[in-house]
Amino acid sequence: MSAADRESPLPHSLLNTPAMRRACADRDIGAIFTLARDHAGLTQSRLARLCEMTPSRVGDYIRGRARVRQQHVVERVADALRIPGELLGLAPRPWEDGESFDPESVPPALRPKLADSVVELELFIAIDVDKDGWVNLTYRHTVLNLTDRPLTRFARELWFEHGEGPLEIAALPTARHQIAVERIHDAGTLAKFACRVSPPVPPMGSATIAYRCTGGRFVDAHYWRQAITRATLRLTIDVHQRGLAALRDVAALEEHPDGATQSIDEHVRWSVDGDEVDITLGREDLKPNQFVTLHWEVARGGG
């Protein structure tokens, strides 16, 4: 069985946790194995079999007695555990693109409602804030084309209250598609743009469209209001902020198409480690014309 044929042994929710993303960014294979053991139930022996290592070698990584230095070992772990290449600083792995998605896995009750539309199977937003409030923002859309036309263009809009306009927006590579950013309109820290997709996503096909934005800044208000423009099966907003004296409050709100609002605080998780905070909000089965807002109140270092 090839790496492209394997199901992921790690739950997607674990890959999206701040701890896992930090371990991947550091290429700390020991920390990755520890998280896989503690949160996915993978034994040392199974990790060894998946990653083509001896159990004792896996144990050395977990206990910090050894560190992975070789690129080919990092690639082997990425493929064995189905960790996206971007998280580990690698090129996209051959299995990453969503074209292998089975449309039959869409819940039957949703199919009539989603017909003739582009659906967001997953919308992942990573908001990385430095000690001065500058933001490194990453979007990753996994989309399914349920129309009868190829998908060639994916319109988007971003806005920050503060920053250095125009915003810088760069496409991120995926395994089977090239993404090009087409600027449509810039007005200070408002950017309207489109992601052009090549080759086009065929009817009943799926793909990952990813891009990164810099130039925005949080000054006084710390919040992200996400418009839901397409049916979205899962939304994750992941915030990592550094240089804090304290996290004072976290709140989340969902707005429905009819204007009704409700608190969704129960769907938020956060942790504080020294002067850093990690916040994650996850929602499912969102409809067009909804909004999801995550707000966090902080005291900056020294304040």
Secondary structure string (H, E, C) spanning 76-99 = HHHHHHCCCHHHHCCCCCCCCCHH
Q: Where in the chain is the domain with CATH 1.10.260?
A: 12-96
Q: Where are the alpha helices (DSSP H) in 26-173?
A: 29-40, 44-51, 55-62, 71-81, 111-114
pLDDT at 99: 44
Residue-wise pLDDT tens for the chain (303 aa)? 334 444 578 877 788 888 899 999 899 999 999 999 988 888 888 898 889 888 888 999 999 988 887 888 898 899 899 998 888 988 777 777 544 455 555 656 556 566 678 999 889 898 989 999 999 998 989 898 988 899 999 999 999 999 987 999 999 866 678 899 999 999 999 999 999 999 999 988 888 888 999 999 999 999 999 999 999 988 989 888 989 889 999 999 999 999 999 999 999 988 887 888 888 898 988 999 999 999 999 987 754
CATH architecture of the domain formed by 12-96: Orthogonal Bundle (1.10)
Cβ density class 196-215: b for 16+ within 10 Å, e for less: bbeebbeeebbbbbbbbbbb
Numbered ranges of CATH 2.60.40 in the chain: 99-300
Give Cβ neighbours of residue 104 (< 8 Å, ≥ 6 apart): none
Q: Which residues contact 155 (CB under 8 A, 6 or more apart)?
A: 184, 192, 193, 194
Burial class (CB in 10 A: 0-12, 13-18, 19+), 303: exposed
Q: What fold, for 99-300?
A: Immunoglobulin-like (2.60.40)
Closest CA to 289 of 262, 265, 255, 252: 255
Predicted pLDDT of residue 264: 97
Contacts of 47 (CB under 8 A, 6+ apart): 33, 36, 37, 53, 58
pTM above 0.85, yes or no: no
Cis peptide bond prior to 199, omega within 30° of 0: yes
Task: Give the model's pLDDT for residue 107.
Answer: 58
Q: Are 20 and 124 in contact (CB under 8 A)?
A: no
194 — phi, psi (to 5°)? -135, 145
Kindly list the distances between the CA atom of residue 64 and the CA atoms of 22, 24, 30, 59, 250, in Å, as whole numbers in the listed order: 16, 15, 6, 8, 34
Structure tokens at 178: 């090239």
CA distance 208 to 175: 9
Which strands sit side by side in the sheet containing 223-228, from one edge to the other? 223-228, 290-300, 244-255, 261-263
Write down the pLDDT at residue 4. Answer: 40
